[in-house]
A and B are shown apart, each in its own frame.
Chain A
Amino acid sequence: MSTHEGAIGSGASIAQTTERFAPRSARRIFVIGGIGLILCGMILGDIFAAFILHPNANRIGENLLAATRAVAAHDPRAAGAAFQNIGGLLENRGTKVDAHSHMIGFGYIALLVALLQPYVAFSESVKKFLAKLFLLGAMLLPVGVFLIHYVGMAGSPFAAIGWASVFGDFGGFLVWVVCLCELAGLVKYFRARPAVRASDDFHSDRSWAARTLLSGGTVLVLIGFLHGSYYAGAHLFTYEAKDSELLSVMTTQAAAGDSAAALQAVADYGQLQGAKAVNVAAHAHVIEFGVLAILLAFFQPYVFLSEKWRRIWVVMLLIGSLMLPVFVLLELQWGLLAGGLADVGGLLVIVALFAMLVGIWRYTGKLDSSVGVA
């Protein structure tokens, strides 16, 4: 079987493909923009995890230690200054996490809206405008949020919100407006009751790659839900109580001059924050990767690669999707080894996703001069 036959073996004809997945069509803009957003978000997440997350956590611990020592030395100004630093570090961490997660989330929404395009009853030019507006908002929000820590309140007329935050919120508003418009387009389509309903190859593919991604993705989401339920039921409330208790021990023991007990409480507090972070990260990532796998199942007919390579990328994506959350969860026990293996899992997902993006990009004809592929 030639590469081309393999690539469209699920039944999509070239004519259908050209019509439904034409270069610069709204659907194409959503798909390529969506996968691009997910890739950028994942790469940002990897960089954040490697270079910011751990050093930032260490600095927060050092400042908490400084605050506890200030209490022992009965120096309220030093304690306040330490918390000022912690506030800045938490803002730095929070905005990076928000930029990472919103970029990926918007990528998912873009892929979803791409799937719904045949059922959105607007002209192609309106759809393209909405697609570009969506991508503008989807980029504006994470960039704005990322910059909050650096821009601060400079030149802002508001009491608590800086300019970076204003632009970020505006980006979120644009995405929200586009989603509302797409919903209106869907309602319009179903109200019109067209004589011939749109049929779509995106929804009918039964290839091995699509089936594996669909069932594998659903299982990943289910694992994430089960883990989340277990965490909420068994740990969430106890961790919150422990959090409050340790802060209280830090202050009372330090004020009473028992430095050893206060320092132990700081160390325990750090462990507790680590336990919370790895559980939340594992829960979020396994569900996100499950959703990503299900979404990518729909686009498999248009990944213009041979069947063998499509299968390789599918398997790599699913292995990475399970590896990352499992080893994130093991980070507290295995330390750096687990962290490294989790990063490898993330890298596998990024490589597989990039390969699929290249496969979809090849469908534009930019890389292929004609129907056939060498």
Chain B
Amino acid sequence: MSISRKILIFGGLGLAIWGMGYGIWYAVFIEHQTLDGLGTALATGFMRAAENRAAESAAALADAASRSFVYVRQVDAHGHWIGLGLLLLILGIAFDRVGFGQRMRTYLAAALLAGSVMFPLGVLLETWNRGTGPQAVAVIGSALVILGLSGTAWGFARRNS
């Protein structure tokens, strides 16, 4: 088996298992509590507004927005790690049909794997740090995936694939 295929198949399977493990841990220990907290914060925001307690209402709604921000990214990271892992695995099976030399295929495989790890990681890091650092990690990761995928699609379309 070529290096590029090994990178994609083992990397993809590892990433999918990691994503599933994270998902199970998240579903058991975090998700229900997060959703309960989100619902409570929203309800509190409206109830305090009805009692004319504007400051408390605003604080509760801000808390709900913050919880929603975190929830969306935690679910996104879980879904994208597994989805990208499966995609790598599938592409790995067919990667010998990409019509480039072995070195180029290895670069493409490495870009796909690095991007697939980095993109959801950057999204997840946004829950701890809302600065530009995690966003940059996510953007670079997604750019690597798009680059790798474009190269792969081009390689599949080449006549000598």
Chain A residues in the interface with B (C-beta under 8 A): 67-68, 70-71, 73-76, 78-80, 82-84, 86-87, 90-91, 94, 105, 108-109, 112, 115-116, 160-161, 165, 169, 172-173, 175-176, 179-180, 182-183, 186, 190, 203, 214-215, 218-219, 221-222, 225-226, 228-229, 232-233, 240, 243-244, 247-248, 250-252, 254-255, 287, 291, 294-295, 297-298
Contacts and interface: CB of A to CB of B under 8 A. Distances in A.
Contact of A75 (B50, B89, B94, B150): B50
Contacts of A240: 65, 68-69, 72
Nearest to B20: A176
B32 A165 contact: yes
A183 B43 contact: no
Which 5 A-B pairs give the minimum distances between C-beta atoms? A83-B43, A251-B49, A244-B65, A76-B47, A76-B50
Interface in B62-84: 62, 64-65, 68-69, 72, 82-83
A65 to B, nearest CB: 12
Given A70-B46, A75-B50, A298 B150 contact: no
Contacts of A226: 146
Identify whether the interface residues of A are mostly helix, strand, loop, or mixed.
helix
20 contacts: A75-B50, A76-B48, A76-B50, A79-B43, A82-B46, A84-B43, A172-B23, A172-B27, A176-B21, A179-B16, A203-B94, A215-B156, A225-B145, A225-B146, A229-B146, A240-B68, A240-B72, A247-B64, A248-B58, A251-B46
A113 to B, nearest CB: 9
Interface of B is mostly: helix
B132 interface: no
A191 to B, nearest CB: 12
A190 B1 contact: yes
A238 B44 CA distance: 24
Contact of A291 (B90, B97, B152): B90
A215 B57 CA distance: 53
Interface string B141-158: 010011001101100110
Nearest to A215: B156
Nearest to B64: A247
Interface string B124-150: 000000000000001100100110011
